[in-house]
Amino acid sequence: MRTLLLAFLFVNSLLSSGSAQSEQVTITSSSTGFFISDSGHLITTYHGIENKTVFVMTSEKKLMPTEIIKIDKETDLALLKIAAITPFLYIAQPESISPGMEVATIGYPMMSVQGLSPKISIGIINSASGFKEDKSGFQFDASTFRGSSGGPVIGPGGLVVGVVRGKLNSTKMLERMNELVVNVNYAISSQVLLEFLRGVSGLPSSRPLNLESALRPQRIYREAKSAVVPVVSKASASVTAPIDRE
């Protein structure tokens, strides 16, 4: 049912009078990604694209094929690229990232029911380590849902401080611990992201965080939303959606 709903959503949203080629596709899953250069470099999670044919949906509601530049299953990161000039987000230098920092997430959660507009959530970094004290990430409490993974965690000044990785499963935690746990989310740190990107040419340098600047959600949403995109995969045959192959 989820696949059918998502496919129906894409059929009604993507059909246009443009010149893009059409191909028989069924949308089978979605996650979020964000551009980190003006030449189409895109970050998302490895688990969101593993063993899939992946496309990026542009602001014109077209699906563009991606080239895989680099993947790392251990860090759960993937660097993709599309053939386009793109808006992008700068990555924060990690030294000043710490618990208590206000953060925002922008992504495309549960597109089958929440639609195709980007969603923003606000919270703080709760811990400098991730799941079971994982030092490659951190815990935060801005709301995330299925489809949010791969999206940016944004700090003051609009700089990326992490990549959304996942969350504690509330249902399983209730069964095991008799405790309803909400908004316990995990991100890959910008330090791990920068190490993953080391040696890739054509990327902007990271920038220092200004800890004195306040998080401004409206400004962040306005300035960052065009650099955050749905990452979708497809299987063969059943509905027609325009694929931009230019």
13 Cβ neighbours under 8 A, 6+ residues apart: 61, 116
- pLDDT tens digit sequence for 32-71: 999 999 999 999 999 999 888 899 988 777 889 999 999 9
State whether residue 33 is helix, strand or coil.
strand
**What's this model's pTM, rounded to 2 decimal places?**
0.82
Question: Which of 21-30, 120-129, 217-226 has the weakest average pLDDT?
Answer: 21-30
Question: Which of 65-69, 137-141, 176-180 has the weakest average pLDDT?
Answer: 176-180
More confident residue, 21 or 28: 28
Domains and CATH numbers, the chain: 2-86+227-243 (2.40.10.10), 94-226 (2.40.10.10)
**Measured distance CA(35)–CA(156) in Å, rounded:** 18
pLDDT, position 246 = 34
Q: What's the mean pLDDT in 184-213?
A: 94
Give the rounded percent of residues in the chain with a pLDDT score beyond 90. 59
**Residue 161 · residue 139 · CB < 8 Å:** no
- The CA angle 55-62-222, to the nearest 5 degrees, is 95
- pLDDT tens digit sequence for 68-83: 999 999 999 999 999 9
pLDDT, position 28 = 62
State whether residue 218 is helix, strand or coil.
helix
